[in-house]
Amino acid sequence: MKKYLADKFARALAAMGHRSVRVTFEKPKLEAHGDVTTNVAMTLAKAAGQNPRELAQEIVRNLKLERDAVEAVEIAGPGFINIRFAGTFFTSRLASILREAEKFGRSESGGGKKTQVEFVSANPTGPLSVGHGRQAALGDTLANFLDWTGHNVTREYYYNNAGRQMRKLAESVYARYRRQFEPEFPLPEGAYEGEYIGEIAGELRKIHNATLATMATEEALKVCGTFAEQSLFGEIKAVLKRMGVVHDVYYNEDSLYTDGKIREVVEEFRRRDLAYDKDGAVWLRTSALGLEQDRVIVKSTGEPTYRLPDIAYHREKFRRGFELIVDVFGADHIATIPDVLAGIKALGYDAGKVKVVIHQFVTLLRNGQQVKMSKRTANFVTLAELIDDVGADATRFFFLMRATTTHLEFDLNLAKEQSESNPVYYLQYAHARIASILRFAESEGRMNGQTEDVFKNLREPSEVALAKVLLEFPETVENACAAFEPHRLTGYLHDVATAFHRFYHEHRVLVPDASLASARLMLCRATGIVLANGFKILGISAPEKM
C-alpha cells in the first residue's frame, strides 16, 4: 500500500509545485479510518502558507488513483488524508507470494553489509542456563532477520578458557575425581556444585582410573581442566544445535592476551593520553570521553578489569572489517556497555556501528509457582532440561514472543499444552491444517490448471482480510529487523493464523465452483508460504501434520 501511494502522492505534490516532499504513511488506530493515513498536508501547510484541510483537499484533487485499487479517500480532523483500498488491490497481489515462494519477504536493503552478531558467549564452566537460552534464541533470530534483509552475517561466540573461573572448574573436578577414591578429600573453597561436576569426574575415572591421583597436582589439574572444558563446550554446542543455533566463529578471549592485543590497546590509550597510572593501577580517562568518572582498566595486581579485554575484542571486530556489530547481552552487562563503547570511540572507531541488544531475565513457572533450580546444577535450571521438558520449538518461540526489554515469565504448562491457548501450537496448527487441505485437494485432482486470474473471485471480507495481512509480511520483516525486535514477527504471525482460521471457519475451500475453489486453494498456499517463511526466521519447524 505504501509503495503504491508513495508514487501517487509524489506525482500529485509535484503537480502542485511541491517537489522532493517526504510523505509518510501510517496504519490508523481505528479500522474505520481506512487502511492508511498520512499527515502530509499538516506538515506542509505552514511552508505552503495554506490551511491544512484546504491543502489536503487540493492534494486529493490531484491524486490519480485507479478505481480498482482505491475504494475511498477521505479528509479527517485538521487535515489527515485517510485511504481505504479496494479488496481487489490485495487479492490481485497475492500472486507475488506464490511466485516468490520461499523468497517472499526477503530484501536486499542491507546491501551486503558485513555484519557480526555476538551472542551466548558463556565460558565453558557449566551447562547453559535458561537465560543463555533466551540469548541464543534472540541472537540467532536477529541474525536470521539480518540475513533476510541482505546483510552478510557472521554468528560469533566469545569465550574464555583461562583465568580464575577455569581454575576453579579444574579444582572442582579434580576434587570430585579424588573423592571417588578418597571420600574425605576436601573440596576447594567456592567449588562448582551440581551433578555435572560429578559426571565429568566419573568420565575421567573411566579414562584414567586412579592415575591422576599419582600425578603432581598442577599436572593433574591441567588434565582435569582441559577435559572439563572440552566436555562442557561439547555439551554447550550440542544443546544450542538442538535449538537450531550453530555459530560460525568461536573467538577465545585468551588469544587477546597471547597475541598481544591487550598490551596494544593499553599502549594506544597511552599514546592518545587517555591512560594514566594511579595507586599502582592503570586508569582510562573515561571522564574525557563523556562518562562521569575514570575507570580502572588494569588493577594494581596487574590483572586487567573486564572492560579492557572487551574493548580489545571490539577493536578486533572493527579490524576484521565488520560494518555492523550486534551484541546480545543479558541485563547484567548494562553497566559495562558505556565503558566499552567509550573505549572504542577513544581508539578512533565509530561506536555508532555497534548495536547492543539487552534482554531481561527469565523466570520459569510450573503450576503458577517459580521453578528455581535443578539437581544437575544445584542452583539453576539448564537449557537442556527446558528443551527436554517442552521441546525445542516451544522453547525458542516462548523466548522470542516478548520484547527483550521485559522480564519473561516462561509458563511451562502452557508451553506443553496442545490447544489454541499455546501460541506456538496455534501457529503450527494453522500451517499443518493448510498442508492437510492442499494434500486432500491434490488427491482429488483439484490442484491442476490454477492461474493467477482466479484471485478476482476472492471477494468475501475474511478472504480480503487474510490477503491484506499476508502482504504485510515483507514490511514486518524489515521493521522488526530495523528495530531489533523479533517479537514483532511472533505477533504478526499470530495475526496471520487468526485471519486464516476465521476465513477457514466461515468458508469451505473445496466448493463446487471450480474457479472459486482454485482461488481459495491458492489463498491457502500463500498463507502456508508466509507462515513457513516466518517460522524459518524464528527458527521453528513448519509441521505438515499435527
**Do 362 and 370 touch, CB atoms closer than 8 A?**
no
Set of cell numbers at residue 270? 597511552
SS3 37: strand
Q: Which residues pair with 370 in a beta bridge?
A: 365
- Per DSSP (E only), the strands in 235-285 are 249-252, 275-278, 281-284
Q: Measure the CA–CA gap between 118 and 158, rounded to whole angstroms.
A: 7
CATH number at residue 508: 1.10.730.10
CATH number at residue 59: 3.30.1360.70
Q: Measure the CA–CA gap between 466 and 461, rounded to whole angstroms.
A: 9
**Alpha-helical regions (H) of 217-336:** 217-242, 254-258, 261-271, 307-319
Set of cell numbers at residue 178? 579424588
Domain boundary among 41, 56, 85: 85
Task: Looking at the structure, tell me whether residues 424 and 531 fall in a common domain.
Answer: yes
Residue numbers of the domain that contains 531: 420-538
Q: For position 449, what pLDDT does the model report?
A: 61
Angle at 151 between CA 148 and CA 154, to 5 degrees: 105
Set of cell numbers at residue 424? 506456538
Q: Measure the CA–CA gap between 433 and 441, rounded to whole angstroms.
A: 12
Would you call 16 exposed, middle or buried from its count of C-beta atoms within 10 A (0-12, 13-18, 19+)?
Answer: middle
SS3 97: helix
Strand 36-38 to 80-85 pairing: antiparallel
Strand (E) or helix (H) holding 35: none
Q: How many CA atoms lie within 13 A of 78 on its CB side?
A: 9
Strand 408-411 to 362-366 pairing: parallel
Contacts 24+ apart (CB under 8 A), 109-113: 109/149, 109/150, 109/478, 110/146, 110/149, 110/150, 110/151, 110/152, 111/150, 112/150, 112/151, 112/152, 113/150, 113/151, 113/152, 113/323, 113/324
Task: Indicate whether 122 belongs to any domain.
Answer: no
Q: For position 214, what pLDDT does the model report?
A: 94
Digit-coded pLDDT (tens) for 277-294: 999 999 999 999 889 899
For CA atoms 35, 97, 434, 459, give the dihedral sign. positive
Neighbour count for residue 131 (Cβ, 10 Å) = 21
Residue with cell 555459530: 247
Digit-coded pLDDT (tens) for 318-374: 999 999 999 999 998 898 899 999 999 999 999 999 999 999 999 999 999 999 877
- Indicate whether 480 pLDDT > 70: yes
The residue type found at 198 is G
Q: Measure the CA–CA gap between 313 and 321, rounded to whole angstroms.
A: 13
Q: For position 29, what pLDDT does the model report?
A: 86
Task: Looking at the structure, tell me whether residues 533 and 430 fall in a common domain.
Answer: yes
Mean predicted confidence (pLDDT) in 270-275? 95
Q: For position 152, what pLDDT does the model report?
A: 98
Q: Measure the CA–CA gap between 8 and 21, rounded to whole angstroms.
A: 12
Indicate the range of 139-143, 363-367, 443-447, 456-460 predicted with least confidence: 443-447
Task: Looking at the structure, tell me whether residues 78 and 168 fall in a common domain.
Answer: no
**Do 24 and 10 touch, CB atoms closer than 8 A?**
no
Mean pLDDT of the chain: 94
Q: For position 212, what pLDDT does the model report?
A: 95
Structure letter (DSSP) for residue 374: -
pLDDT band of 444, cuts 50, 70, 90:
confident
Digit-coded pLDDT (tens) for 5-62: 999 999 999 999 998 888 999 989 888 889 999 999 999 988 888 999 999 999 999 9
pLDDT band of 162, cuts 50, 70, 90:
confident
The residue type found at 44 is L
Strand 249-252 to 275-278 pairing: unpaired
**Alpha-helical regions (H) of 49-153:** 52-62, 87-91, 95-100, 130-148
**Do 296 and 283 touch, CB atoms closer than 8 A?**
yes
Task: Indicate whether 451 belongs to any domain.
Answer: yes
pLDDT band of 188, cuts 50, 70, 90:
very high
Highest mean pLDDT among 159-168, 369-378, 495-504: 495-504
- Indicate whether 140 pLDDT > 90: yes
Q: Among 173, 155, 90, which Cα is nearest to 460's?
A: 90
Mean predicted confidence (pLDDT) in 206-212? 95
Would you call 76 exposed, middle or buried from its count of C-beta atoms within 10 A (0-12, 13-18, 19+)?
Answer: middle
Q: Measuring CA to CA, how many Å separate 491 from each of 25, 305, 397, 423, 476?
A: 21, 41, 11, 10, 10
Mean predicted confidence (pLDDT) in 460-485? 97
**Do 168 and 124 touch, CB atoms closer than 8 A?**
no
- Indicate whether 106 pLDDT > 90: yes
Q: For position 450, what pLDDT does the model report?
A: 64
Task: Indicate whether 348 belongs to any domain.
Answer: no
Task: Indicate whether 398 belongs to any domain.
Answer: no
Digit-coded pLDDT (tens) for 7-17: 999 999 999 99
Q: What are phi and psi of 63, to 5 degrees?
A: -75, 135
Task: Indicate whether 230 belongs to any domain.
Answer: yes
Task: Indicate whether 29 belongs to any domain.
Answer: yes
| 3-state SS track over 176-230 | HHHHCCCCCCCCCCCCCCCHHHHHHHHHHHHHHCCHHHHCCHHHHHHHHHHHHHH
Task: Indicate whether 41 belongs to any domain.
Answer: yes
Torsion of CA 14, 19, 20, 22, to 10 degrees: -70
Domain boundary among 184, 215, 242: 242
Mean predicted confidence (pLDDT) in 203-215? 95
Sheet with 114-118, side-by-side order of all strands? 249-252, 152-159, 114-118, 324-330, 354-359
Q: Which residues pair with 520 in a beta bridge?
A: none
Residue with cell 536477529: 142
Q: Among 21, 71, 27, 70, which Cα is nearest to 42's?
A: 21
Length of the chain: 546
Domain boundary among 185, 215, 242: 242
Q: For position 116, what pLDDT does the model report?
A: 98
How many distinct structural domains can be found in the chain? 3
Digit-coded pLDDT (tens) for 362-392: 999 999 999 987 767 777 899 999 999 999 9
Q: What's this model's pTM, rounded to 2 decimal places? A: 0.92
